[in-house]
Amino acid sequence: MPLNARLVEVFVQFAQHATGDFQVADILHQLAAASADILDIAGAGVVFNVGDRMQLVSATSPAVQSAEQIQDAMMRGPCMDARASGRVVIEEDLAAHPQRWPQFCEHAQSLSLRSVASIPLLARGHVWGALDVYRASAGSFDETFLRTAQALADVAVAYVVMAHDRDQARAAHQVAAHSATHDPLTGLGNRALLFAQLEQAITAASGSGIGVLFIDLDNFKSVNDQHGHLVGDQLLIEVARRVAGALRPTDILARYAGDEFVALCPDLPTPATLAQLQQQVQQALAAPLTLNDTELDVSASIGAAVLDPTMNSADNLLRAADQAMYEAKRRGRP
């Protein structure tokens, strides 16, 4: 098959691969394999830029893999120079110029590799990696060879950039989604997420007990007034940690408002289980607490409610727990 036709076939394969949910490594493996198939070489290796190093991703033979690994170990070699310069680096005879990269040249020759060209994967002014192509004999790399290798590298890096942009967009979406449903201070779920989880638990209850603990810190405003908001924030973080530690692994704790927390407790064997959890939370909060060399007395008014046939929504269940909390506060119970 003529070279141009083979190139077209490879580019079609790249495009077909990229229509799926591909990973960067997939494209780089395809680049190495296509280079070895189309070019007159002993083998190809592809490295990818990770931090301050070039990391080997693909090699078409054990000899090429070993040659690439010695570059990484020595931090010297053609791909390192291609990365630094952003230009194609060529050595037509490794035996004739051993001083260029001494350890690499010696090792490559021991593997019967005599010449190398390193083509940087360049896009947006950034070197993303490099394609290293090796020959078993010394000699020049003609223009057709280099243009073909460059075309393969250019197509591959275009898809690498595409994957990078896709992954960045996904990460940004995940951060935005997390921010919309979580409290930035404590990392707990927020009110919106709590309601969604409550509704889901109620829908899936199938007769199993669901309970809620509504936790309101006592005298939190005085902590902010006397010690500042930094100590107040640290207190909320510590309260969240203590309450979560007093609950079961299957329970879900959320920050409902400024100094209010709600614990969703599904699959309660009996109502007494919720009462036991409430006691454990009270005990956890009653332990001595020192923040910034300041001793604080922490207590909370806690209201408990268990789902019953009269409650058909998250609002009703939360309202019952909220009323129980205010009754506890009115009675002066911690």
Q: Does 3.30.70.270 match the CATH number of domain 191-331?
A: yes
The pTM of the full predicted model, rounded to 2 decimals, is 0.65
How many Cβ atoms sit within 10 Å of the Cβ of residue 185?
Answer: 12
Catalytic residue among 81, 183, 251, 259: 259
Give the mean model confidence (pLDDT) for residues 185-205: 90
Give the mean model confidence (pLDDT) for residues 36-57: 90
CA angle 62–67–71, rounded 5-degree value: 140
Q: How confident is the model at residue 1 (pLDDT cuts 50, 70, 90)?
A: low
221 pLDDT higher than 80: yes
Give the mean model confidence (pLDDT) for residues 30-59: 90
| CATH label, 3-178, candidates 3.30.450.40, 1.20.120.530, 3.30.70.20, 3.40.50.10860 | 3.30.450.40
Q: How confident is the model at residue 4 (pLDDT cuts 50, 70, 90)?
A: low
Can you give the residue ranges of every domain in the chain? 3-178, 191-331
Q: What is the enclosing helix (H) or strand (E) of 168?
A: helix 143-181
Q: What is the pLDDT of residue 334?
A: 44
Active-site residue 251, yes or no?
A: no
pLDDT digits over 81-126, tens only? Answer: 999 999 999 999 999 999 999 999 999 999 999 999 999 999 999 9
Q: How confident is the model at residue 69 (pLDDT cuts 50, 70, 90)?
A: very high
Give the mean model confidence (pLDDT) for residues 124-144: 94
Residues with Cβ within 8 Å of residue 264, at least 6 apart in sequence: 194, 197, 198, 201, 210, 211, 212, 251, 252, 253, 254
Give me the helix-helix angle, 314-331 and 191-203, nearest 10°: 120
Distance CA 37, CA 253 (A): 57
